[in-house]
Amino acid sequence: MKVELPKPISANRLFKNKARGRGRTEAYNTWRWQAKAMIQDQKPICKPNGPVRVFFAIGEKGLRKDSDGDNLLKCLLDALVENGILTDDNRQFVRGVGMEWVEGKEGATAHITPAESPANPR
């Protein structure tokens, strides 16, 4: 399964301190809304049956040159869960996560495959 997502934002920009704990930033709320709209437009197939591996192709376009790839994965995985693509992003359901940078691309593409598929050996 393939799902297109908007340009990710860094985990450093997802939450802010509040008087009582932490809350989502305006930037994160906006991004979540964009991700939801983008996913709904694609009408993706229902949740995978069983554990999966998720590989992200993340576009470099529009991101800072010093972007830290692992800081971008949180919002992407959370969007897949929030929009019903994945049951959860814990290790019971997501057995592997990877990413690569794609020059000239904006946004991200999630490639979701069964954890036991031959393309993803242990």
Interior CA angle at 90 toward 89 and 91, to 5°? 120
The tens digit of pLDDT for each residue in 95-122 reads 999 999 999 999 999 999 999 755 544 4
Q: What is the pLDDT of residue 104?
A: 96
25-69: per-residue pLDDT in tens? 999 999 999 999 999 999 876 678 899 999 999 999 998 898 888
pLDDT at position 7: 96
Domains in the chain with CATH codes? 2-114 (3.30.1330.70)
Q: 11, 76 in Cβ contact below 8 A?
A: no
User: What is the rounded CA–CA span in Å between residue 122 and residue 119?
Assistant: 10
The answer to whether the beta carbons of residues 112 and 72 sit under 8 Å apart is no
| pLDDT given for residue 82 in this prediction | 96
Torsion of CA 89, 75, 25, 27, to 10 degrees: -160
